[in-house]
Structure 1
Amino acid sequence: MKAPIAKKPSESVLVVDDDHIFCELLVSDLTVKGVKAISSFSLTDAKEVLSKHPIDLVILDNHLGDGSGTDLLPVLQALEPSPYVIMVSSDDQINNISDSFSQGVHDYIVKPVSIELLWEKIRNLLTFKRTSMDLANKYQLLQQLLSEKAQEESLAQHVYQNMANSQCDLPSFAQVRSRPMTNFSGDTIFSPPNPSGKIQLILADAMGHGLAAAICIIPIVTTARAMANKGKGIDEIFHEINRKLYIEIPDDRFVALAGIEICPYSNTITIVNAGLPDVLCCCKNGEVKHFKSKAMPLGIMEPAEFSIKTEQVPIDDIAQLALYTDGIIEQTNPQGAAYSTKRLLEQVDNLVNSGQSLINIMDDCLDFAAGNSIEDDITLCVIDGDAVREKLQTRIEETLPDFGEIDYRFCIRGKVIGSLDVLNQAMHIMQHSDLPKDLCQKAFTVMAELINNALDHGILELDSSLKNDFEGFATYLALREERLGKLTNSDELTIQLYTNSTTFIKISVEDSGAGFALTENSADKQGLSGRGLGLVDAMCQTVERNAKGNCTTIFIARN
């Protein structure tokens, strides 16, 4: 059987005494107790040992052949870390003992020395030093972790602010007031640019607060921006955000959203509410309409089960529109009472009757809190109806020099129809040909309507009435995905675009579907089979459809 391996001493003691027998006895005793011990018989020897070996504790005789033990104290105190010192002396004068302590000695023992007593003092000091060093190391580690945490938070805040705020500037008619609970806010409001000319604004409130909540905001902004860049409507954007959140955030997290979409061509505002407090619409006739949440917060339900309901109000009817997160109504005062929906609605009435902006609700909420800390992220956004109408009325096309002509034809067949973004390719051509922005936006909206209808209702034969049902939109999307996977080369989509710099834009979209029979009231119904004919007719100077109903040609005149 192998002998047990002796534990390597982890602490070292230097014995400085000109009594050789005392040194040998003490060194031997300490070695047996698992302490590395070294002896020196003079100050000179001690300094040499200290220059070569790390020492935790020094047993120091005060009367040596080459000087006083206290002469070694400055040398010991200059070491890093400096060793503890037990002074051993035959001098029992109180003044001298006191002087030793004032010079940095940690303990004092009078000769003759009891080895047992001296060991207890050594053991206690070594334990104390070990504990002190452990605390110092932990403190240093804590400071390092705090520094790293501060750097990580600073980086995260920089990324979050740039992602959630700087990408999507808010329109001038939207006033926003917000108060985060911490450095990171789980609330955000943004307006992703849309090439169709529609103005979309989304308010999001992630569950919880702080960095954990703020992280959930990032996929919302990036997804909404990507979808809006394709000209997608607010309902489709919400569906895609839900899909993204359902996949990417933890199961115990979700985000409540409300959104509006201002369409200058139909003169309407579309409102969607998924988990936020009522969106309030103060009408010019004095009525206050409540647009309640009609969907679960996003990130909870599977994409195939998620449904939303959009509602519309004419732009001309709106005086003010208010979206807000529940942090407002849940904020408490020093007595523990919540601001509440009741108080908020009372304040709405007061502000409307006095002709003031609903943005002042935030001031009332903070006054109500009376210095109480903010208990959740708070955001309030107010849309001014007059400012919206003024902005839409000032969308004037600029006059540009003659750039020539564009005659573009594009035909795609089979599965590529579902994957190739033909709309943005055509839009890219128009945007880079110096066409006026307003004209490009109209052309994009019409082309998007024609291409989406040609694909969805012509080639894929989807019934748009599904989208009008509260639970039908998810079914519509699922069917669309299924039928896209079954496309063959007999399925065909053809787009033609002609424009010059002085007269008009002509767009023609033809599909290989069965077509439809145009009726007299199809435009009033916003299009047979969801073809959006009403919107197209309202935006274009002329609209021509072939007899089969699978080809539509429109003309948009230049100003």
Structure 2
Amino acid sequence: MHRIPSTHLPLAVVNSERFDPTPVVLPMADGERLLCWTDGIIESRNAEGTQFGDQRVLDVITAHVGQPDALFEGLLLALEAFHGSREDDVSLLEVVMQRHPLPITSLLQPDARQLEAQDWVLDYTFRAASIRDHNPLPFLNKVLMEVPGLRMHAGSLFIILSELYSNALEHGLLQLDSSLKGNADGFSRYYRERNLRLSSLDQGWIRVVLDHCPDEAGGRLVIQVEDSGPGFAPQPPGEQAETYSGRGLALVRALAADVQFNALGNQVRVAFDWRLGHTAA
């Protein structure tokens, strides 16, 4: 068993100049497993206030050597027996390594014929009822994943889409004030108010334009998000966020080639460049 220690703060806590994006490569053999869990597991407390802790997690893993399929169930049972009161979400993830007969690049990289079919513009407008009752992000992300070359950037693109859509929804249509996110209590108030306003949303729209243009080396995806709200003042480029708010936009700027807002602040245009054989923008 090999533990992978955390060596960085969460994304967007520090600016891009101080963040080291160098990946750590851990070779894994066929059949080996990567286990991940959130701090909601280790920070669960019993009646005496004692946390479940890392060591109890490791003890459960050790006890299930040879029966990996029962590991997560065993961990949840151990947590229940500990009488943990969850203070956060409890999420578990297992990735099983399986040898694939084809190199991974052959699965993700487009050939010349595919590139010819990837020059397109898609324009979607989501009205109030759809925004209130459905989250369009999985749909939009699925559209982008139809471009083989973009699949290697799925994480970055989802971050960009999520941040742009959230800004349009929360600051544009719902007109929420990010200054509420000054502390943990403020976060709770912010999202309670978000849910309340979203549940009663009956007017407004969010428009998302996806413009993809391939070239011989890869391509450029332009994401434009516009809302019918009054606009807001985004954090200026290079300005370090002093509170919890504003970090998402800083991360978008770090991932994208270009980010431009209109004067009103209710329309943003993001350019994302990708290159064949590269997994980072």
What is the TM-score when the length of structure 2 is the normalising length?
Answer: 0.58
Measured after TM superposition, the shift of residue 515 of structure 1 is 1.3
Distance 2:179 2:45 in 1: 24
Return 5+ residue gaps in structure 1 as ranges.
1-171, 176-200, 202-259, 277-292, 299-322, 332-358, 364-375, 379-394
Contact 2:181 2:243 in 1 (8 A): no
1:426 aligns with 2:140: yes
Q: Does 1:498 align with 2:225?
A: no
User: Which runs of 5 or more residues in structure 2 are unaligned?
Assistant: 22-36, 47-52, 64-76, 80-103, 276-281
Q: 1:531 to 1:459 in 2, by over 3 A?
A: farther
Question: Which whole-Å CA distance do the structure 1 matches of 2:167 and 2:161 have between them?
Answer: 10
Aligned pairs, number: 203
For 1:461, the equivalent position in structure 2 comes to 175
The equivalent of 2:227 in structure 1 is 511
Which residue does 2:33 correspond to in 1?
none
Call closer, same or farther: CA 1:297–1:473 in 2, change over 3 Å: farther
Residue-by-residue CA offset, 1:482-530 (whole Å, 9 max, x unaligned):
10122122x1111010113332000001112221234646742289964
Q: Residues 543 and 328 (structure 1 numbering): CA distance in 2 closer, same or farther, change over 3 Å? A: closer
- 8 A contact 2:149–2:274 mirrored in 1: no
Quote how far apart the aligned CAs of 1:423 are: 1.2
Is 1:324 paired with 2:54?
yes
Cα deviations by residue, 1:215-272 (Å, 9 ceiling, x for unpaired): xxxxxxxxxxxxxxxxxxxxxxxxxxxxxxxxxxxxxxxxxxxxx9975996589x96
Residue 86 of structure 2 corresponds to: none
For 1:551, which of 267, 274, 279 is the aligned residue?
Answer: 267
- Quick one: which amino acid aligns to residue 119 of structure 2? E
Greater relative contact order (Cα < 8 A, sep 6+): 2
Give the residue type in structure 2 aligned to 1:432.
Answer: E
From 255, 268, 281, the counterpart of 1:539:
255
Provide the alpha-carbon RMSD of the alignment: 4.3
CA displacement at 1:405 relative to structure 2: 1.7
Indicate how the Cα distance of structure 1 residues 464 and 453 shifts in structure 2: closer, same or farther if over 3 A, else same.
same
Provide closer, same or farther for how the CA distance between residues 467 and 524 of structure 1 changes in structure 2, counting only shifts above 3 A: same
Q: Which structure has the highest strand share of the two? A: 1
Identity of aligned residues (%): 25
Q: What aligned pairs does 1:57-68 form with structure 2 within 5 A after superposition? A: none
Deviations 1:397-438 (A, max 9, x none): 954221332311111222321222211111111112323322
Paired position in structure 2 for 1:400 = 110
Is the Cα–Cα contact under 8 Å of residues 409 and 497 in structure 1 kept in the other structure? yes
Shift of 1:481: 1.4
Distance 2:168 2:39 in 1: 30
Structure 1 residue identity aligned to 2:189: T
Once residues 157 and 57 of structure 2 are traced to their aligned partners in structure 1, the CA distance between those partners, rounded to angstroms, is: 41
Cα distance in 1, alignment partners of residues 58 and 157 from structure 2: 41
Q: 2:208–2:226: 8 Å Cα contact kept in structure 1?
A: yes
CA contact (8 A) 2:206 2:225 kept: yes
Q: Which has the larger radius of gyration?
A: 1
- Measured in 2, the distance between the counterparts of 1:540 and 1:452 equals 17
Partner SS for 1:436: helix
Displacement, 1:459? 1.2
Q: For 1:415, what is the secondary structure of its paired residue?
A: helix
CA distance, structure 2, for counterparts of residue 328 and residue 528 of structure 1: 32
Per the alignment, in what secondary structure is the counterpart of residue 461 of structure 1?
coil
Q: 1:427 aligns to what SS in structure 2?
A: helix
Query: Aligned partners of 2:150, 2:120: CA distance in 1, in Å?
Result: 14
- Cα deviation digits, residues 62-109 of structure 1 (max 9, x gap): xxxxxxxxxxxxxxxxxxxxxxxxxxxxxxxxxxxxxxxxxxxxxxxx
The answer (yes or no) to whether the contact 1:523–1:533 under 8 Å persists in 2 is no
Are the structure 2 counterparts of residues 525 and 433 from structure 1 closer, same or farther at C-alpha, using a change threshold of 3 Å?
same
Letter matched to residue 404 of structure 1: Q
Give me the whole-angstrom Cα distance separating, in 1, the residues matched to 2:227 and 2:38.
32
1:352-385 CA-to-partner distances (Å, cap 9, x unmatched) read xxxxxxx9xx79xxxxxxxxxxxx959xxxxxxx
Once residues 442 and 327 of structure 1 are traced to their aligned partners in structure 2, the CA distance between those partners, rounded to angstroms, is 31
Change over 3 Å in CA distance of 1:500–1:464 after alignment to 2: same
Aligned-pair CA distance for 1:449: 0.7
In the superposition, relative to structure 1, how do residues 510 and 396 fare at CA in structure 2: closer, same or farther (>3 Å)?
farther
Partners of 1:539 and 1:548 lie apart in 2 by: 23
In 2, Cα distance between the equivalents of 1:520 and 1:405? Answer: 32
CA distance in 2, matches of 1:437, 1:173: 29
